[in-house]
């Protein structure tokens, strides 16, 4: 699967505002600053399609991109970044969880994890939540260019071992870099192969 066309469609504050769910959709989620928007740009071969920033909390709405005129990529705001008051944060997280639970055309969520870090509670809790709600997800390790091959292998080994303690089966996972393009081909192949599972609502 190659992306030959990527167009920004719209930013929505909630699921109701999203485009009609008439095309298959994949969404990128993960902690603020993990590299969601950068990876989307890298997959689409465009620098500024999704807005990125060195400061966490850049993406604050549900952003839809139409790919090859046939499916959607979605850039979601990061979790775990307290932008405002606790009640605002709870409201924001409720909107994102509503999107994930309600969105009928969502084929799979890509949960992005910084490959430099040990498992964070917030990510583990989010994966538990997805399993509880029966939301299919994959893990995408990001920023692999920031580690040596040895460090990277060690970290992924530790992370997946940790996952195996809680899960019978590992979810599919990809090791990527928006900088070097590592892992992009595997990720795109996965996306291409799973488009067929879309059933028009």
Using the rule CB under 6 A, which residue among 111, 178, 187, 191 binds ligand GTP? 178
At 143, list the tokens.
């920023």
The reply on whether position 59 binds ligand GTP by CB under 6 A is yes
Nearest approach in angstroms of CB 197 to ligand GTP is 26
Please, what is the minimum distance in Å from the beta carbon of residue 76 to ligand GTP? 8
CB distance 115 to 99 below 8 Å: no
Q: Which is nearer to ligand GTP, 24 or 183 (CB)?
A: 183
Distance of CA 156 to the CA centre of its chain: 18
Pairing type for strands 62-67 and 71-75 reads antiparallel
Task: Kindly determine how many residues on this chain lie close enough to bind Mg ion according to the rule CB under 5 A.
Answer: 4
Which C-beta is closer to ligand GTP: that of 31 or that of 198?
Answer: 31
Query: Strands, E, within the chain: which ranges?
Result: 6-12, 25-30, 62-67, 71-75, 106-114, 137-142, 173-175
Asked whether position 33 contacts Mg ion by CB under 5 A, the answer is no
Scored b (16 or more CB within 10 A) or e, 18-28 reads bbebebbbbbb
Confirm or reject binding of residue 42 to Mg ion (CB under 5 A): no
Tokens coding 63: 């952003």
146 interacts with ligand GTP by CB under 6 A = yes
User: Using CB under 6 A as the criterion, which residues of the chain lie in contact with ligand GTP when the complex forms?
Assistant: 32-38, 52-54, 56-59, 77-78, 142-143, 145-146, 177-179
Contacts to Mg ion by CB under 5 A: 36-37, 58-59
């Amino acid at each position: 699967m190659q992306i030959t066309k990527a167009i920004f469609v719209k930013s929505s504050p909630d699921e109701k505002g999203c485009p009609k769910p008439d095309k298959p959709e994949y969404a990128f989620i993960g902690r603020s600053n993990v590299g969601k928007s950068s990876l989307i740009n890298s997959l689409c071969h465009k620098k500024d399609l999704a807005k990125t920033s060195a400061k966490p909390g850049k993406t604050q709405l549900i952003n839809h991109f139409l790919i090859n005129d046939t499916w959607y990529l979605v850039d979601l705001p990061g979790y775990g970044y307290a932008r405002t008051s606790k009640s605002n944060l709870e409201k924001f997280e409720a909107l994102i969880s509503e999107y994930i639970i309600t969105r009928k055309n969502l084929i799979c969520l890509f949960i992005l994890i910084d490959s430099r870090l040990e498992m964070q509670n917030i990510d583990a809790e989010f994966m538990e939540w997805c399993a509880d709600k029966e939301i299919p997800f994959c893990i995408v390790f990001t920023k692999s260019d920031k580690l040596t091959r040895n460090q990277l292998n060690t970290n992924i080994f530790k992370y997946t071992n940790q996952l195996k303690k809680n899960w019978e089966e590992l979810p599919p996972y990809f090791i990527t870099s928006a900088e070097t393009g590592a892992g992009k081909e595997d990720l795109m192949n996965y996306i291409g192969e799973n488009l067929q599972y879309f059933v028009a609502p």
